Copies of this chain bind each other. A is one copy, B any other.
């Protein structure tokens, strides 16, 4: 029984938003940031995140640079030119979808 919520399909949009706002971030940092910023309500697991990041790199939306920090490896992700365009589209698209479902779940669903 896990009480943290996650909307399936929103992971990619969240990653794109993070990178849009912060320029570059590494995976582990993303999980901590989202956890903290959502007040523990949204939890991105590393097992879901890393495959998603790799897919975005494959699609040429993200690019990486690797650095050695305090003896540990860090793989920074940032948006490509293509990724910058796509992020706007995907974030807006996801926000629209969220609003639509929200409306359905809030209003009286009487069927005319």
Residues of chain A touching chain B, judged by Cβ–Cβ distance below 8 Å, are 5-10, 13-14, 17-18, 20-22, 25, 29, 33-34, 36-38, 41-42, 91, 93-112
Residues of B near A13 (CB, < 8 A) are: 101, 105
A55 CB to closest chain B CB (Å) equals 16
Contact B8 A104 (CB under 8 A): no
Additional A-B contact list (15), CB under 8 Å, known A5-B100, A17-B105, A41-B100: A7-B7, A7-B101, A8-B8, A13-B105, A14-B105, A18-B109, A21-B108, A22-B110, A37-B111, A38-B103, A41-B97, A91-B105, A95-B102, A98-B105, A99-B102
A62 CB to closest chain B CB (Å) equals 16
Contact A7 B97 (CB under 8 A): yes
Contact A21 B97 (CB under 8 A): no
A17 CB contact (under 8 Å) in B18, B25, B41, B109: B109
A-B CB proximity, top 7 nearest: A5-B97, A8-B8, A21-B109, A8-B9, A41-B100, A33-B111, A10-B101
Residues of B near A36 (CB, < 8 A) are: 112
